[in-house]
Amino acid sequence: MLMMFYIMFFCGLWVFSSKRKHLLMTWLSLEFIVLILFIILYYYVMLMNSELCITMFFLSFAVCEGALGLSILVSMIRNYGNDYFNSFGLLQC
């Protein structure tokens, strides 16, 4: 069961490294990786019969990271009209 999550994690890494044209695809693949890491962390915490506080901290940081990424994506789309990486210079942001 855990091996399936590792395969999903590496699939997320593959999508992140191969789909670099759109900012939305990279953001979605990062969110997928964070979700899989949360599931793996939850699985290990349940295996050790430990407290679930660390998973709540991880989940709160993941939500903050997702909200920050979405706000950056929306501001770039409003300023440049699309989410292509090649349509804006990185020094101008």
State both tokens at 75.
């501001």
Q: What is the pLDDT of residue 87?
A: 66
Place of tokens 């939850």: 42
Q: What is the pLDDT of residue 77?
A: 81
Asked whether residue 92 is assigned to any structural domain, the reply reads no
Asked whether residue 74 is assigned to any structural domain, the reply reads yes
Distance CA 37, CA 45 (A): 12
Q: What is the pLDDT of residue 18?
A: 86
Asked whether residue 7 is assigned to any structural domain, the reply reads yes
Asked whether residue 90 is assigned to any structural domain, the reply reads no
Looking at the structure of the chain, the number of domains it has is 1
Q: Report the chain (93 residues): mean pLDDT per 10 consecutive residues.
A: 88 85 84 93 92 92 92 82 68 52
Q: What is the pLDDT of residue 39?
A: 93
Q: Give how far Cα 88 sits from Cα of 46, 83, 85, Å.
A: 45, 9, 6
Asked whether residue 93 is assigned to any structural domain, the reply reads no
Q: Give how far Cα 25 sits from Cα of 5, 52, 56, 74, Å.
A: 20, 31, 26, 14
pTM: 0.81
Distance CA 15, CA 28 (A): 9
Asked whether residue 89 is assigned to any structural domain, the reply reads no
